[in-house]
Structure 1
């Protein structure tokens, strides 16, 4: 059953209204009518089943049938920070990272970053669509863009194991020492790579180097590859 998004859901409420956009999709695209069942989520882990009680007007009125809180998958406890890139490629990266279930996405401004403009609201819409398409109940948080230096300072206060995607084969074996319930933080630079000072500062802030193979990857490819790599490593820890 296709998933719909309903933000600001209040647990325990008997009825709710679907947004105009979601109502239009349900009515015009999926041909849903009064009495039909819908499956929804608030993006915060709630799995909701509701029946269309009233299909008149711009917003469908829904009667809640069932609601269940879904635990956040521990293998998805990944915060992915990646250099901002061309808008269409950034869209693709956010879409795929959402499909992979990451917890947080951080647009990053590095010394070699070429494209610095970012539209968070637009990226959030991409993430909502990807969450629904992939049948997930958690919407990743998309943070405001930060500089590499700000990111290193911010993450120095966070628990978890931190990785910097970098074409150096050292330190990679340390990854398996992570705990199953520990958060992973992945940092991916622009196609020009990280400035040597950025690598040095990252290591000083407790980051480990994460190799992603011998080929030169685009930023969005490296981000997806890195997340898949970390999810596999996490699954081996359980």
Structure 2
């Protein structure tokens, strides 16, 4: 494939059905990239794999794609959740972008005593995740949950899913060691806000039999660093870190 233009669509991808571009996609293709009818693009929808397509029509706010062939069959991402306390807007977008690149399957904005933003725009987070998936060769989009308070998250956490809490202090198992022992199954990580969890929140979490505190080393990490370090370690040790992206060209 000579093109790097890759778009997420919601429509089913079947050879006999044209795919309609959104107005934003049409603007991006026609006005930003200045593509003409006949240009090659790549489409995916999180269900039907990845397809090469031709931009058969392009206008100011409309566009139409014609599928040519399937490039890759659908492959799911690891069953990996991240519950994170939103920070300032730019850093929150950064967490969503990089967590998507690292293969997280579900993102859960977490409201804690020290969470800086009680108002989370999940539509903006989804748009950020879509853009990151388009650029990182993912075949799916992580689910973006509505914000949830910490106590509710712990009380409603699925019993079959390992719950790792990234604790900046206190007794904890090194994450690489915990990942090596776990190796498979559904898992989730909880990371705190700037300033960390309160003492009451830590006590509450430690009372849950589902919680396993894990450590990320001897230094205090920023909230966004902790979230991405946890995902990177897990993927490298127990996730899909041994896989390689598809070859283009």
Confirm or deny: 8 A CA contact 1:110 1:194 kept in the other structure. Answer: yes
Shift of 1:15: 1.0
Deviant stretches of 4+, over 6 Å:
none
Shift of 1:226: 0.9
The two structures have a TM-score, normalised by structure 1, of: 0.88
Aligned to 1:178: 182
Shift of 1:208: 0.9
Q: Structure 1 CA distance, aligned partners of 2:217 and 2:48?
A: 34
Change (3 A) 1:158 1:103: farther
Q: Structure 2 CA distance, aligned partners of 1:56 and 1:29?
A: 13
* Structure 1 residues 1-238: aligned runs within 5 Å: 1-11=4-14, 13-44=16-47, 46-56=49-59, 58-67=61-70, 68-73=72-77, 76-155=78-157, 157-167=158-168, 168-172=170-174, 173-180=177-184, 182-203=185-206, 204-235=208-239
Q: Structure 2 CA distance, aligned partners of 1:84 and 1:149?
A: 16
Confirm or deny: 8 A CA contact 1:14 1:63 kept in the other structure. Answer: yes
Residues 134-193 of structure 1: CA deviation (Å, up to 9, x unaligned): 2211111110000001111221x252221000123533344322143x122000011222
Change (3 A) 1:45 1:232: farther
Residues 53-77 of structure 1: CA deviation (Å, up to 9, x unaligned): 223463221111123432114xx32
Confirm or deny: 8 A CA contact 1:152 1:205 kept in the other structure. Answer: no
Q: Structure 2 CA distance, aligned partners of 1:57 and 1:69?
A: 32
Q: Structure 1 CA distance, aligned partners of 2:150 and 2:73?
A: 35
Structure 1 gaps of 5+ residues are: none
Shift of 1:111: 2.0
Shift of 1:12: 5.3
Confirm or deny: 8 A CA contact 1:161 1:184 kept in the other structure. Answer: yes
Shift of 1:45: 5.9
Structure 2 gaps of 5+ residues are: 243-249
Residues 90-109 of structure 1: CA deviation (Å, up to 9, x unaligned): 11111111111210111001
Shift of 1:123: 1.1
Q: Structure 2 CA distance, aligned partners of 1:190 and 1:29?
A: 37
